[in-house]
Structure 1
Amino acid sequence: MAGGKKKEVKKETGLGLSFKKEENFGEWYSEVVVNGEMIEYYDISGCYILRPWAMSIWEIMQVFFDAEIKKMKIKNCYFPLFVSSSVLEKEKDHIEGFAPEVAWVTKSGKSDLEIPIAIRPTSETVMYPYFSKWIRGHRDLPLKLNQWCNVVRWEFSNPTPFIRSREFLWQEGHTAFATKQEADEEVLQILELYRRIYEEFLAIPIIKGKKSEMEKFAGGLYTTSVEAFIPNTGRGIQGATSHCLGQNFAKMFEINFENEKGEKGMAWQNSWAYSTRTIGVMVMVHGDDKGLVLPPKVSSVQVIVVPVPFKDANTQGIFDACAATVDTLCGAGIRAEADYRENYSPGWKYSHWEMKGVPLRIEIGPKDLANNQVRAVRRDSAAKVDISCDSLAGKVKDMLDDIQKSMFDAATQKRDACIQVAKTWDEFKEALSQRKMILAPWCDEEEVEKDVKDRTRGEMGAAKSLCSPFDQPELPEGTTCFASGKPAKKVDLLGKELLDYQLLVRSSSIFKLFELLVLMYFSWSTH
Structure 2
Amino acid sequence: MSSSQKESVGITVKKADDFSEWYTQVVIKAGLADYAPVKGFIVLRPYGYAIWESIRDLLDKRFKETGHQNGFLPVLIPESLLAKEADHFAGFTPEVFWVTKTGNNEIGEKLALRPTSETLAYSIFAKWITSYRDLPLKINFWNTALRAEIKATKPFVRTSEFLWQEGHTVHATEEEAEKEVMAILDIYREVIEDFIAVPAIRGFKSDKEKFVGAKYTTTLEGMMADGKALQMGTSHHLAQNFSRPFEIKFLGKDTKEHFAWQTSWGVSWRLIGALIMVHGDDKGLILPPRIAPVQVVIVPIHKDKDAEAVKAHAHELASELRRAGVRVHVDDRDEYTSGWKFNEWELKGVPLRVNIGARDIEKGQVEFVRRDSREKKQAPRAALVQEANSLLESIQYDLYSRAKQMLDSFISRPATYGEFKGVIEGRGGFASAGWCGSPECETRIKEETGADIRVIPFDHQQGGQDRNNNGNDSDSSNKCIYCGQPAKKVAMFGRAY
TM-score by length of 2: 0.95
Q: For residues 476 and 416 of structure 1, do their structure 2 counterparts lie closer, same or farther at Cα, with a shift above 3 Å needed? A: closer
Matches within 5 A, 1:491-510: 491-498=490-497
Question: Equivalent residue for 2:385?
Answer: 393
The amino acid across from 1:237 in the alignment is: L
For 2:264, which of 255, 264, 271 is the aligned residue?
A: 271
Shift of 1:448: 1.3
Write the distance in 2 (CA, Å) between the matches of 1:94 and 1:157: 21
Report Cα offsets for 1:44-84 as digits up to 9, x if no partner: 11111111111111111111111111122111111111100
Q: Say if 2:223 and 2:429, in contact at 8 Å, map to a contact too.
A: no
Verify: 1:322 aligned to 2:314, yes or no: yes
Distance in 2, Cα, partners of 1:108 & 1:266: 38
Residue 5 of structure 1 aligns with which residue?
none
What is the Cα deviation at residue 436 of structure 1? 2.5
Aligned-residue offset at 1:15: 2.6
Q: Which one is further off, 150-159 or 343-352?
A: 150-159
Whole-angstrom CA distance in 2 between matches of 1:181 and 1:267: 12
Matched residue type, 2:245: M
1:414 and 2:402 equivalent? no
Name structure 1 gaps, 5 residues minimum.
1-7, 457-461, 499-527
Match of residue 188 from structure 1 = 182
Q: Residues 196-252 of structure 1: CA distance to partner in whole angstroms, max 9, x if unpaired?
A: 1211111101000100000000111110010000122x1111001000011111111
1:157 CA displacement? 2.0
Question: Who is 1:166 aligned against?
Answer: 160
- Larger mean CA deviation between 259-268 and 469-478 belongs to 469-478
**Residues 476 and 330 (structure 1), Cα distance of their counterparts in 2 relative to 1, 3 Å cut:** closer
User: Aligned runs of 1:299-338 on 2, under 5 Å?
Assistant: 299-310=292-303, 314-338=306-330
Question: Which secondary structure state, in structure 1, belongs to the residue aligned with residue 210 of structure 2?
Answer: coil
Q: CA deviation at 1:483?
A: 1.4
C-alpha distance after superposition, 1:439-476 (max 9, x if no partner): 112212211111211222xxxxx111001000025424
Report the AA paired with residue 337 of structure 2. Answer: S
Query: How far, CA to CA, are the matches of 2:99 and 2:494 in structure 1?
Result: 38
Q: How many residues align?
A: 484
CA contact (8 A) 1:304 1:360 kept: yes
2:128 to 127, 131, 134: 134
| Counterpart secondary structure, 2:242 | helix
C-alpha RMSD of the superposition = 1.7
Distance across 2 between alignment mates of 1:344 and 1:11: 16
**When the two structures are superposed, what TM-score results if normalisation uses the length of structure 1?**
0.89
Moved more, 219-228 or 481-490: 481-490
Q: Kindly provide the amino acid, as one letter, of the partner of residue 475 in structure 1.
A: N
Q: Helix, strand or coil for the counterpart of 1:63?
A: helix
Residue in 1 that maps onto 2:465: none
SS in 2 for 1:237: strand
1:269-320 Cα shifts (integer Å, max 9, x gaps):
100000111101111111111111111111111111011114x752222112
* Partner Cα distance (1:109, 1:265) in 2: 45
Select the residue among 454, 472, 485 that pairs with 1:475. Answer: 472
Report if the CA contact (8 A) 2:195-2:288 is conserved. yes
Match of 2:255 in 1: 262
In structure 2, the CA distance between the partners of 1:12 and 1:348, relative to structure 1 (3 Å rule), is farther
Structure number with greater CO (CA < 8 Å, separation at least 6) is 1
Query: What's the CA shift for 1:194?
Result: 0.8
Alignment of 1:346-425 (within 5 A): 346-425=338-417
Partner letter of residue 177 of structure 1?
A: H
Q: Which runs of 4+ in 1 moved over 4 A?
A: 8-12
Higher mean alpha-carbon deviation, 121-130 vs 443-452, is at 443-452
Aligned counterparts of 1:306 and 1:495: Cα–Cα separation in 2: 44
Query: Any idea what the Cα deviations from partners look like across 1:390-445, whole Å, max 9, x if unmatched?
Result: 01001100100000000000111111111111232122112222313111122122
Task: State the identity %.
Answer: 41
Over residues 18-45 of structure 1, what are the superposed CA-to-partner deviations in whole Å (9 max), with x where a residue is unaligned?
2111111111111110100000111111
- Which amino acid is 1:65 matched to? L
Checking the alignment, whether the CA contact within 8 Å between 2:140 and 2:166 is kept in structure 1 is: yes
Shift of 1:366: 2.3
Paired position in structure 2 for 1:39: 33
1:148·1:171 contact (CA, 8 Å) conserved in 2? yes
Shift of 1:268: 0.8
3-state SS of paired residue (1:197)? helix
* DSSP 3-state at the match of 2:139: strand
2:111 to 112, 117, 125: 117
Say whether the 8 Å CA contact 1:11–1:344 is kept in structure 2: no
Residue 217 of structure 1 corresponds to 211
**Aligned pair 1:446/2:445, yes or no?**
no
Alpha-carbon contact 2:229-2:429 (below 8 Å) kept: no
1:26 paired to 2:24:
no
Find the aligned partners of 1:376 and 1:45 in 2 and give their Cα distance.
42
Per mean C-alpha deviation after superposition, the further-off stretch among 353-362 and 468-477 is 468-477
- The aligned amino acid for 1:440 is A
1:36-115 mapped onto 2 (5 Å cutoff): 36-115=30-109
Instruction: Quickly say closer, same or farther: Cα 1:476–1:286, change in 2 above 3 A.
Output: closer
Q: Using the alignment, how far apart are the partners of 1:209 and 1:153 within structure 2?
A: 26
1:489 matched to which residue of 2? 488
> Post-superposition shift, 1:11?
11
CA contact (8 A) 1:9 1:343 kept: no
